[in-house]
Amino acid sequence: MKLNIAVLPGDGIGPEIMKEGVKVMKVVADKFGHEFSFNEAICGAHAIDAVGDPFPEETFKTCMDADAVLFAAVGDPRFDNDPTAKVRPEQGLLAMRKKLGLFANVRPVATFDCLLHKSPLKDELLKGADFVVIRELTGGMYFGEKYQDNDKAYDTDIYTRPEIERILKVAFEFAMKRNKHLTVVDKANVLASSRLWRQIAKEMEPQYPEVTTDYMFIDNASMRVLTEPRFFDVIVTENTFGDILTDETSCITGSMGLQPSSSLGEHTPLFEPVHGSWPQAAGKNLANPVAQILSAAMLLEHFGLNEEGALVRKAVDASLDANVRTPEIQVEGGAQYGTKEVGQWIADYIAKA
């Protein structure tokens, strides 16, 4: 198979983990006889410094011309600590989602038996947890009308029927492919936008009679994700709730450095780790590349390369079982491995498999 992949390393640890993700993709291509081309483009703080725009038109064109986007992370404390900054790296991420029509963020949440002890939760709660969060990505407060002066500020949480219907369709179809259980997370007891979400979900239920659909307020869902993670199969929710809920799920895996994701929609699909740019670790060979590598596995599987994706996942599992891990998940007294060493071990495993 031929694939043209846009590569957006971004800021902070992004370039380091991206090298390992691309390295794994190249090894897969060599082993299975595929032809993958990689076209790098700038975004985030790097792009602001270079051209004054966190998602330049040239980067947008590179993404539109590609079959898929492999993205790392954006963010820089120079902008976080400056409330007067008019242009911010994260604006590039929002612009990318909007311009590429990436309305559905898919975040799988699963445990690794050898890492259960790294979670702050009890092993008996975690073992066997395996669910997917479908987050709406281009609507809600993040994109609604905004206002701020010295005395007043507001963000408008607006959703339309077509926006809700299309993300619910994605969620129902994911549930059909999994265990046929969908949980719609909202705040329908308070928010009008949530009541529309719930109304439309109930209207769509009869189209998927095999799916057991239940409804949960976001505050209850936030608790039960941590106390009953095995209850869930597919969760669907709006943008703001999804942003918070999916970060919370890092307590289940034990590290955000283990969580991949995809963003799907109208144009080029995008694959990225869920963690941020961790600028404090940039250039120190400390960052965990596993989420980036698993995002590459999701990319492969998206195009039907399931054997290839399965081998990448097997290599990741083998690295964790062999204690080839970056410091934040390494066992006490374990050998020291950095970003490069973990990525190379996984690539070598694939090549020898």
Q: Which of 247, 314, 317, 340 is catalytic?
A: 247
DSSP symbols for 147-198: EE-SS-EEE-----HHHHHHHHHHHHHHHHHTTSEEEEEE-TTT-HHHHHHH
The two tokens of residue 327 are 């410091």
247 assigned to active site = yes
**Contact residues for 268 (Cβ-Cβ < 8 A; gap 6+):** 6, 63, 64, 66, 67, 68, 69, 100
The two tokens of residue 63 are 């993404």
Q: Which of 11, 118, 142, 186 is catalytic?
A: 142
**Cα–Cα distances in angstroms (integers) from residue 229 to residues 47, 48, 133, 234, 334, in the given order:** 39, 40, 12, 11, 29
Contact 345, 337 (CB under 8 A): yes
- Taking alpha carbons only, the member of 116, 125, 156 closest to residue 258 is 116
Q: Which of 219, 284, 321, 348 is catalytic?
A: 219
Cα–Cα distance, 315 to 308 (Å, whole number): 11
Cα–Cα distance, 46 to 56 (Å, whole number): 11
Q: Which of 19, 23, 118, 187 is catalytic?
A: 187
Q: Which of 67, 130, 243, 317 is catalytic?
A: 243
**Contact residues for 102 (Cβ-Cβ < 8 A; gap 6+):** 96, 137, 138, 263, 264, 265, 266, 267, 269, 270
82 assigned to active site = no
- Please give the DSSP secondary-structure letter assigned to residue 267: S
Catalytic residues: 142, 187, 219, 243, 247
